[in-house]
Amino acid sequence: MFRKVKQIHISILLVLMISIFLAGCNSKASENTPEPSTVGNPSTTVGDIKTLRLSWPKDIGPLNPHEYTPNEFFAQGMYYEPLIDYGEGGKLVPKLAESWDISEDGKQYTFHLRQNVKFSDGSDFDSSVVQKNFDTILANRDMHSWLGLISQIEKTEAVDAHTFKITLKNRYYPALQEFAVVRPLRFLGAAGFPDDGNTAKGIKSPITTGPWVLSEYKKDDIAVFTRNDNYWGTKPKINTIIIKVIPDGEARVLALEKGDIDLIWGEGVISLDSFVSLRDSGKFETSISDPVASRALIVNTAKGPFADLNVRLALQHAVNKQALVQGVTNNVEKAADTIISSNFPYANVGLKPYDYNLETAKSLLDQAGWKLPDGKTIREKDGKPLEIELVYMGPDQIEKPMAAAIQSDLKQIGVSLKTTGVERELRNKRMETADFDLLFWGTYGAPYDPHSFVSTNYEPGYGIFESQQGLSMKDELHQQMKDVLLTVNEEERQKLYTSIFTTLHEQAVYLPISYLTNIAVYPSYVKDFKFPAHRDETPFDSIDFQK
C-alpha cells in the first residue's frame, strides 16, 4: 500500500516537473504577445474596438518598402502608400500625389504632392522625403531593373516643397501605372532611413503615411497593426488588425472554424478543396475575385517538336482546360483562352479561342509528319518518337495534378509527355536557360500587365525571349513589344497590342490554362469585403464588423 502511494507521488512529481520545465522554457516567449483580450479571444468586437484577425503563411518581414523577400507583398501594400493608386478597371487614382502633369514629349512627369500629409512619426510628407526615397531606389537600380520605369528614370528633382519632377530617358507609357506598384515605389519617413540613406541594407523603423501603424511585432509569430488616427484619408472602420503566422493551409482553415481568425484571403493560402468545403458548409461567406493573373505553359519554339507550328497548334486543341480547372481547382480558377485576360487594359482584342478537339489535334500532328505507326501508341517521325517534357514546380499543389492531366490528354493524341517536378530554384534555372519543351509560368497580373508581360517577352534573361527564337517573325514581334511601351497615342498603342497578342495567339507560343483568382472566406459578421483591383493590395480598409 505504502509503495503504491509512493509511486503515485513520484508520478505527480514528474508531471509537475515537466509542466514547470515547459512553462519555464517559454516565459520569455510570451512577454511580447498582445494582450489576451484580443488574441485568441472568440469575440472580435470589444466595446467600440473592432479587431480583425487573420493569418498569413509567412512572417510579414521587416516592412522595408524598397526591398523584396523576406518582405511580404501584402504587408508592404497595406502599410505604405504610392503616389498613384490602381483602381477599378485599371483607372489611375490620386493617392499621395493630388494630380500630375505629363510633358508633351512624354518624358517629364510633374507630381503635385498632397499637402497636410503626415508620417506616423509626425513628420511632413513633402518633396524632400520623396527625393530621399527615390535616391535610395535609384542607387539600387539593378535590383529594380525588372520594373521598366526604374531603368527609364534619368533624373528626379524636388521643384518646391510639394512639387516633384521625374525626367525619363525615353517615352514610357506605363510609367503612371508603375507608380502604383507595391515595391519599390512607396514612401518611408525620413527617420526610418539608415544613416547612410541606403535602405537596401535595412531600415531603422517602418514610418508610413498609411492608415495602419505597426504596434506590436514578434517575428514568425504575430504582427499587430493599429489604425493611424492621424491618417489623411478615409479612416478604416476597424481599429486593429492582428496577423498571425500560420504556415499550414489546413491549420488556417481550422483556425477559422474555431473562431481564432476572422478572414482567410489571398491566392493559394488554402487548398482549393478546403475552399470548396468551407463554401459548401454554409457556415461562411465566400467569394472569388475577377482574374488577377494567368497560369500558362510556355512553349519552347526554339528546339524539339514545338519548333513546328502545327505541333504547337495540336497542343492547343488537345488539352481539355475546362476539365483541368474543374478537376484540379474546383472552378475557383477560370479556364483561359488567351494569355492575358480580356479584363486587362488593351487585352480585349477578340481572339478566337482554340477549341478542345482531339481530331483536329491528330490531323495537325499528321500534317507535321508525326504519324502513328501500326501497333504503337506514340507517334513517330523519321523513327524518332514524339516525346516532350513539361517542367513544373514540384511542391506546387496545382501544377502537379495539372501536369498529370495534361499528360493524359496528350497521350490520347499519341504524344508522350514526361512531367518533371523540380523545386523552385532548379525550375528558375531551367526557365532562364530555356531548358524545357513546356514549362508552367504565371503572368505578373494587375497593375503590371500587359506592359510587364511584353517586356519579359522581349528582354533576354528570363527564358521567354529565348523560347521564342524559333519564330520566323520574332524580330518584328519583339520590336513591336519595345515600340508599344514608347507610344503616346492610344490608338497606335491598341493597334500594336492587338498585333502582338494576335501573333502570340496564332503562333501558339503559350498554352493559356487558367486565370488565377483571389479567394476570401469569412464569417457573416464581416461586412463590406471587397477585392481590390490591384493584385497585391489588401481589402482591409473597407471591412466592417456587424454582430
Residue ranges in contact with other proteins by CB under 8 A = 3, 7, 11, 14-15, 18-19, 21-23, 25-26, 29-30, 33, 40, 55, 68-70, 142-146, 201-202, 219-222, 244-248, 250-251, 254-255, 257-258, 260, 423-426, 428-429, 432, 459, 461-462
The CB-of-178 to other proteins minimum distance in angstroms stands at 14
Question: What span, in angstroms and rounded, lies between the C-alpha atoms of 329 and 337?
Answer: 17
Distances (CA, A) of 363 to 56, 317, 408, 413, 506: 49, 11, 18, 9, 17
Residue number, 39 or 92, with CB nearest to other proteins: 39
Q: Which segments of 334-420 does DSSP mark as H helices, in order?
A: 358-367, 399-411
For other proteins, the closer CB: 13 or 49? 13
Nearer to other proteins, 380 or 435 (CB): 435
Shorter beta-carbon distance to other proteins: residue 435 or 506: 435
Kindly list the strands in the beta sheet with 510-516, ordered across the sheet, starting from the edge strand earlier in the chain. Answer: 334-335, 510-516, 293-299, 438-442, 387-393, 416-422
CA 163, 166, 171, 177 dihedral sign is negative
Query: Nearest approach, Cβ of 114 to other proteins (angstroms)?
Result: 29
Nearest to other proteins of 337, 432 (CB atom):
432
* Cβ contact 183:73 at 8 Å: yes
| 348 Ramachandran zone, left/alpha/beta (phi>0; psi -120 to 50) | beta
Integer-rounded Cα radius of gyration of the chain: 27
DSSP letter string over 36-84?
TTTSS-S--EETTEEEEEEEESS------TT--TTS-HHHHHHH---SE
| In the complex, least distance from residue 67 CB atom to other proteins, rounded to whole angstroms | 8
Cα gap 520→538, rounded to integer Å: 11
What is d(CA 413, CA 317) in angstroms, rounded to the nearest whole number? 10
Of the two residues 355 and 425, which places its CB atom closer to other proteins in the complex? Answer: 425
For other proteins, the closer CB: 69 or 234: 69
Take residue 506 and report the three cell numbers written for it.
496564332
| Min CB(142)–other proteins separation in Å | 6
Minimum distance of other proteins from residue 74's CB (angstroms): 17
Query: And the C-alpha cell for 253?
Result: 482553415
Q: Give the nearest distance from C-beta 458 to other proteins in angstroms.
A: 13
User: Rounded to the nearest whole angstrom, what is the least distance from the CB of residue 241 to other proteins in the complex?
Assistant: 17
